[in-house]
């Protein structure tokens, strides 16, 4: 198996400097755009907190990608600055890679983040080629928004940049936007537009603590409806455009596998799963319950004690 080297989004720069109709024409952004942070995709054994210190090319790549977005009117978050702020202020003490990355993305205020993986030059008959994996995620829920695997033309060159440009454009010198990059950006824009209009998707898992006096079949005043139906009604009233789905219910568990929550609150501030979880918590407290809440990987866990 070829050794895979995780790089940052240098490959985005070439494509973003070209005119891409799905995101922008000239310097004018045509549709509502996300706030984006591009981060290095680290492999096992690499630390996102130090990986850029060891690789000058990665630092240059992230800077150029940010410039590419900024030049077209996008709001971007500088990864290096946010990382330095977090480290200087000792905001996060977890040694867990995943926890630190999640906390950093959350702190950034970005709507989505982009990770890029690039293979090493692959010698083949007639020259070299490279493969590129593009991945975009919802910053609040870590839900995948767009994924694309791009492969360069075979070029008789040792210039890694030329191979990367070819993977993006499917031409030796990047004279034409490739279907690969264009498809990725198209999907990304469609997904974000859907989030703006219909809310972002979270899962909500209700369960009962051991020894709880409640059951989801317990009828609640004033309507004498089972708790499961009360939750179903509340979810419909609070999900964006009544857009939610209950996957199943039993006496001890109720699970909503898709609930749309707003991207922004009424004041234009970011609205995240924690705020929705707090709203659920307050509702259950008003019904005389003692709930606990936890959020992990885009799922809200509510435990009724």
Q: Could you give the maximum distance between any two Cα atoms of the chain, in Å?
A: 77
Q: Do 190 and 210 share a structural domain?
A: no
Contact assessment for residue 37 and residue 105, using Cβ atoms and an 8 Å cutoff: yes
Range of the domain at 263: 199-304
- Domain stops at, among 163, 197, 231: 197
- The residue to which tokens 């940049």 are assigned: 161
pTM of the model: 0.70
> What are the pLDDT digits (tens) for 108-146?
888 889 887 777 667 778 788 877 777 889 888 888 998
Q: Report the chain's mean pLDDT, rounded to a whole number.
A: 77
Task: Evaluate if residue 148 carries a pLDDT over 70.
Answer: yes
* Neighbouring residues of 134: CB distance < 8 A, sequence distance ≥ 6: 11, 12, 114, 116, 146, 147, 148, 149, 150, 181, 184
Q: Do 263 and 174 share a structural domain?
A: no
- Domain stops at, among 147, 167, 197: 197
Q: Do 230 and 150 share a structural domain?
A: no
Lowest mean pLDDT among 63-67, 86-90, 173-177, 218-222: 173-177
Would you state the pLDDT for residue 67? Answer: 60
Give the chain's count of helices (H) and strands (E).
Answer: 8, 16
Task: Evaluate if residue 242 carries a pLDDT over 90.
Answer: yes
Which has the higher per-residue pLDDT, 63 or 101? 101
Q: Do 155 and 232 share a structural domain?
A: no
Pairing of strands 122-124, 127-129: antiparallel
Q: Do 126 and 209 share a structural domain?
A: no
> What are the pLDDT digits (tens) for 193-213?
899 899 999 999 999 999 899
Q: Do 79 and 28 share a structural domain?
A: yes
Distance CA 1, CA 137 (A): 27
Query: How many CA atoms within 13 Å lie on the side-chain side of 182?
Result: 10
Q: Do 175 and 45 share a structural domain?
A: yes
Would you state the pLDDT for residue 25? Answer: 39
Asked if the peptide bond before residue 129 counts as cis, ω within 30 degrees of 0, the response is no
Lowest mean pLDDT among 57-66, 222-231, 254-263: 57-66
Distance CA 42, CA 30 (A): 33
> What are the pLDDT digits (tens) for 282-304?
999 999 999 999 998 789 999 99
In Å, what is the CA distance from 239 to each residue of 25, 138, 234, 276?
A: 34, 18, 8, 9
DSSP state of 2: P
Would you state the pLDDT for residue 5? Answer: 43
| Residue 226, φ and ψ in degrees, nearest 5 | -60, 150
Contact assessment for residue 210 and residue 169, using Cβ atoms and an 8 Å cutoff: no
- Domain stops at, among 173, 197, 221: 197
Would you state the pLDDT for residue 198? Answer: 93
Q: Do 172 and 254 share a structural domain?
A: no
> What are the pLDDT digits (tens) for 150-172?
787 888 877 766 776 677 666 44
Rg from Cα positions in the chain: 23
| Residue 166, φ and ψ in degrees, nearest 5 | -65, -40
């Amino acid at each position: 198996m070829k050794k895979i080297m995780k790089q940052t989004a240098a490959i985005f720069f070439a494509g973003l400097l070209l005119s891409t109709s799905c995101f922008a024409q000239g310097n004018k952004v045509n549709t509502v755009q996300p706030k984006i942070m591009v981060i290095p995709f680290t492999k096992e054994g690499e630390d996102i907190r130090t990986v850029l210190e060891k690789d000058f090319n990665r630092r240059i790549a992230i800077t150029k990608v940010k410039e590419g977005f900024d030049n077209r009117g996008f709001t971007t978050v500088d990864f290096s600055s946010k990382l330095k702020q977090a480290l200087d202020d000792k905001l996060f003490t977890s040694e867990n890679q995943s926890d630190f990355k999640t906390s950093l993305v959350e702190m950034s205020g970005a709507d989505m983040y982009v990770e890029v993986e690039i293979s090493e030059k692959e010698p083949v008959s007639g020259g070299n080629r490279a493969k590129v994996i593009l991945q975009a995620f919802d910053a609040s829920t870590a839900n995948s928004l767009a994924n694309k695997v791009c492969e360069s033309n075979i070029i008789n060159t040792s210039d890694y940049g030329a191979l990367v440009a070819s993977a993006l454009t499917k031409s030796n010198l990047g004279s034409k936007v490739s279907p690969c990059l264009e498809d990725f950006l198209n999907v990304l824009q469609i997904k974000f537009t859907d989030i703006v209009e219909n809310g972002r998707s979270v899962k909500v898992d209700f369960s009962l603590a051991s020894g709880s006096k409640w059951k989801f079949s317990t009828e609640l005043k004033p309507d004498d409806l089972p708790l499961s139906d009360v939750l179903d009604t509340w979810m419909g009233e609070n999900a964006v455009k009544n857009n939610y789905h209950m996957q199943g219910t039993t006496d001890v568990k109720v699970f909503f596998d898709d609930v749309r929550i707003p991207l922004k609150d009424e004041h234009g501030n970011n609205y995240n799963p924690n705020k929705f979880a707090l709203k659920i918590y307050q509702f259950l407290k008003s019904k005389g319950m003692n709930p606990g809440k936890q959020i992990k990987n885009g799922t809200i866990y509510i435990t009724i004690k």
